[in-house]
Amino acid sequence: MARKSRKNMPAAETSGNLTAQAVMELGQEVKQYRAAIYARLSFESEANKERDTVETQIAYLKNFIDSQEDMELADIYADVSFSGTNFERPEFERMMGDIRLGKIDTVITKDLSRLGRNYIDSGTYIERIFPLFHVRYIAVNDDFDTAREGTDLAMPLKNIINEWYARDISSKIRSSYRAMWENGQYAYGRPPYGYRKDSMAKKLIADEQTAPVVKRIFEMYLTGMTYSEIARELQQEGIVSPPKYRYLE
């Protein structure tokens, strides 16, 4: 299928409010996205094989692409036994190489945690690197799509939870950090959102400005609110996103 341009399309019609078929019926051109599937699994186990293998992720995302009228599968990338906190993964790097070559313009994962569990690095790719190469990013289960407005705050909230989860389950603790932890000292660089570092004691203490926000995020999450609903609630209250807070700090 020939690729078509979205140039000169009204903003309301390019934001996902109209289907590709509806746009075509209006006599307008539709862009055909070249989509890359990215799947990741930290480790293989019997439990994972029953629940969420890279094969099930790929099959799920293929079905998603098939359901989109303006999208075609360009390639599949899958990393197995690679942690989400580390972005030095062979298939991820191959995908980034293809992005630089212009072979793909859309990256799709099952959810945000498949891209990565490191809040800062994930945000850098989604907010800076992908836009630099005009690449659209979609996390299907999180209903996250950078081509849609209103997702800029929901993404940091989900990534905060992903990073806290990764930190909680990690068992690979470097010996140089263990001594610091045993003394109650903070061994990482930038403190997580909601905390700040006491430079004298080298310990984390609650950030008076953001700790109440983090508490509310988890409270709302436990009531069953979706990430988008939480984001809208905080946005209506005028609470800035974590990246913007770091910038203003």
The per-residue pLDDT for range 150-180, each reduced to its tens digit, is 655 555 555 555 555 555 555 444 455 566 5
66 falls within a domain: yes
**206 lies in the same domain as 139:** no
Residue 2: inside a domain: no
5 within some domain: no
Q: Is residue 3 part of a domain?
A: no
Q: For residue 32, give the nearest of 23, 43, 40, 42 by alpha carbon.
A: 23
Task: Based on the fold, state whether residues 112 and 39 are members of the same structural domain.
Answer: yes
Same domain, 107 and 24: yes
User: Cα Rg for the chain, rounded, in angstroms?
Assistant: 20
Check whether residue 40 and residue 65 sit in a common domain.
yes
Report the alpha-carbon distance of residue 191 to residue 64 in Å, rounded.
36
Among 116, 106, 115, CA closest to 145: 106
The 10s digit of each residue's pLDDT in 6-63 is 444 444 344 444 555 555 555 556 679 999 999 998 864 444 444 568 899 999 999 9
- Indicate whether 20 belongs to any domain: yes
What is the tally of structural domains in the chain? Answer: 2
6, part of any domain: no
| Domain hosting residue 168, numbered range | 154-248
User: Which residue bears the tokens 């019609």?
Assistant: 13
CA distances, 235 to each of 203, 229, 244 (Å): 31, 10, 12
Q: Which of 98, 125, 145 is the last residue in one of the domains?
A: 145
In whole angstroms, give the CA distance from residue 1 to residue 71: 10
Question: Does residue 86 sit in the same domain as residue 165?
Answer: no
Segment of 1-5, 39-43, 173-177, 243-247 carrying the highest mean pLDDT: 39-43
What CATH number does residue 87 fall under?
3.40.50.1390
Shared domain for 93 and 49, answered yes or no, is: yes
Secondary structure (3-state) at 14: helix
Question: How much is the pLDDT for 46?
Answer: 40
Is residue 123 in some structural domain? yes
Residues 125 and 225 in one domain: no
Which sign does the torsion angle of CA 100, 104, 106, 109 carry?
negative
The reply to whether 135 and 18 lie within a common domain is yes
- What is the rounded CA–CA span in Å between residue 52 and residue 49? 6
Residues 164, 141, single domain; the answer is no
Query: Could you say which of 145, 168, 201 is where a domain stops?
Result: 145
pLDDT at position 128 is 87
Residues 201 and 240 in one domain: yes
Residues 63 and 186 in one domain: no
Which distant-in-sequence residues (6+ apart) come within 8 Å of 24 by Cβ? 30
In this structure, what token pair is assigned to residue 10?
Answer: 């009204």
Show Cβ contacts of residue 53 under 8 Å, excluding neighbours closer than 6 positions.
Answer: 41, 44
Summarised one tens digit per residue, pLDDT across range 173-217 is: 445 556 655 666 665 567 778 888 776 656 778 888 888 998 999
Q: Which tokens go with 19?
A: 């289907």
128 and 26 in one domain? yes
DSSP H or E run through 249: none
